Structure 1
Amino acid sequence: MTVVSLDSVGGAKDSSEVAGASLFDDTPIGDLSDDQLRDRVVGYAGQLAAMTARFLQLLVAFDDRHGWSGEGIRSCAHWLSWRVGMSLRTAQDHVRVAHALAELPVLQEAFGQGRVTYSKVRALTRVATPDREQQLLNFALSATAEQVERLVKSMRDIDRGQGDGVTELIESSGRWEWKLDGSLRVSLRLSPLDGARFLAAVVRSEYERTRIAGDDDVPLNALHAPDENGEPKAPDAEAPDADLHEQRDLWRGVPTDIAPAVVAMADTLHTAVEIPETAPGAEILVHTHAKDWEDIDDQPIATDPHLDHGPVLADVEVEEASCAAVLREVRSNRKGAVLKYGRKRRVPTAALIRIVTMRDQGCAHPGCGRTRHLHVHHVVPWGQQGSTEPDNLILLCSTHHRALHRGEFGIKALGKQRFSFHRPSGSVIDIAPDTHAPGGWEPDQSIDPYAPAPVGGGRLKLGYATEVLYAIWALKADAADATEHTEEPIAA
């Protein structure tokens, strides 16, 4: 990178020139000169960086303690989206960066001093390790955020190319078994290509499962930067890498917990693929409690509800399965004879589903808004004389539908197709809680007024930068190996 003094291009000045003047007074903006505006914009950027660093430290502790759990909240990112007003994608990014910084003390310290911005930190945490962070920080302090993004992308390509090759073919295999606690355990060992296909499907399923209103279908050329009208444009053959930093992040990475996405994949196939009227093993068979049978000889067995050749189900699981799901009810007598093999049923009707879907436009739980894998829920259960009408039907995603049946929150029908959500204590869950600035805030005077401004700068020579960084890390690794061998005891 060619070093150019920022003073020569009207950039950073000596912070002592600014220290005497207050950057945080109440001078009307119209009364400020251009230089004063510039000083305040940069000064406030440093304060924002320092406060964001502190915010992310608090966020890690909050997430680790699961302070967000309850009331149907499914993750820390979901809580941020509901309570703080972030978009779900932004919230997920903040949680990822917060946990990454917990393992990067050098980068965390510089962030807390306002020397690097959130944009730089967000990029660096994708490739930074405790052994790398000091050199990456040195680079970031003299580079723009765009240059940091380009370096990180290049490093990810290099790191992927440094893995060992596969020496033998791997055959995919898998096992499943019902455990004693009633859970299903699935174990997979997949070949590289099968594994890539599986993870790609998980990413697609997770995207579809967590889509909210406003998330577009993914276009064929989604990886290319949008044009001036906001539409994806075709790649430039003469400059294929020119717009890589502008690619739209429509797809997130593979989630850490893939179970919800895999279940969503199963739900999709279960709904989309037609099966014969009788297809054991390809449909959900629930053996339920027996009631209202008068024939003593054919009196059904009084057993707990359970899956066909599967574990016992709790009552809330039976309710969840029977609420807007496709299943059969099977009843048998003590001799094993089937007395009732119920019809497949899906309630409510397709017309009612369209009405409720048009009304709710997604999961109705506060702060959710998912638009895929939705269930139509009877607020007053059908078995308790609840009507199958729009006044008693509401859309919930699979996560919140399960949380509702497990008692994490409740719903009340208010009439005229209006509903309210309640905590177990009975208090109302606000749809969009108010946010406000804390009173009595004072700027941190220890933050340099020009802390976030790059020191040096110039055009990025990407090949040279990556070559130097990897050479430094190779030397550090060799030195660590040498030290380790020196400390090993010599056999007598």
Structure 2
Amino acid sequence: MTVVTREEFTEQRCRASDLVSTARRFTQTHYRLVVECADFADGPVWIADGATSAAHWLADRTDHCANTLREWIRIGRSLRGLRATAEAFEKGDLSFSKVRALTRFATSDNEAELLELAANVAAADIGTALAAWSVRNEPDDVIEARQHRQRHFTTRTDPDGTVCGSFRLPPLEGGKLSTAVNTKLMRNTAKRQADGTWPTVAQQKADALVGAVESGGGFLYEVVIHVTGDGCRLDDGTPLTASTVGRLIPQAFIRALIHDSNRRPIDATNRRRHPTPRQKRLVKARDKTCVDCGRLDLLEYDHVPPHEITGQTHTTELQLRCSPCHARRHQQSLSSTTPA
């Protein structure tokens, strides 16, 4: 951390405020951009010039990808029937990220409800929040048909020669893929690379994805589905329709996590040192991330207090910690008990 004087700190505080103001003005400019792109797409110029589409005409002249411009045109057209959303976007009160997600669901009938929902979640969580709203308010067949239509897989070559891609899958299939990769990751042993460094988690996941494909699916993994009073969801919170879960029953061995009225997983205990698969699922559902740093990967199950003291493995005495935090806690505990 850099030490600064009071005057320097005051100056940096002003810069931070200016940065927030600039971001707001950028949002307002983005509003005008998508609206004008939609207006242009409905006009005759790109047709007269013989362009494949309005997006391609704009891409050639603005140095943006046609897919990006196609999305701007879609959003601009959608805003014509969503007056309150358009006003919030125009004022800079609603970010482009939220507007992009909202315009896939919002109608004049549900706009007010969805705007309130968007105001109470972070931009990073808007997708999951809207998916949960959809499960509560739309018929299963409508949701599943939309998810089926929107599935895709694309790749491109980046300047460094690597292949970069994106995919969109229905939630259950996406959950299967994520679980398969994470299972493969946990079974692999990380090795020091040729340059002496250790691979990052993202690099290990890339290796795990390739390994899962090369193995032809010849290894077992478990997808946990949580069933609560307000619906079904995957372990990461992605909502599932009831009919999707229902179709799994004849094909799968079902593992149910039972939740109490406060949505807490019901306890389980034994006297073994290592937690059972059921106990792991309960603790994972309760803690979700490392209790110290919030990390989502390399998670382990830590006895608090230590198993040497209690002699039992109880879910109320287990905490989810990532490997570095787990090791650090035990090192601190060892240091505090070692005589000087």
TMscore range, shorter length: 0.3 to 0.5
Higher share in helix: 2
TM-score when scaled to structure 2? Answer: 0.43
* Larger relative contact order, structure 1 or 2 (CA cutoff 8 Å, min sep 6): 1
TM-score when scaled to structure 1? Answer: 0.31
Larger radius of gyration: 1
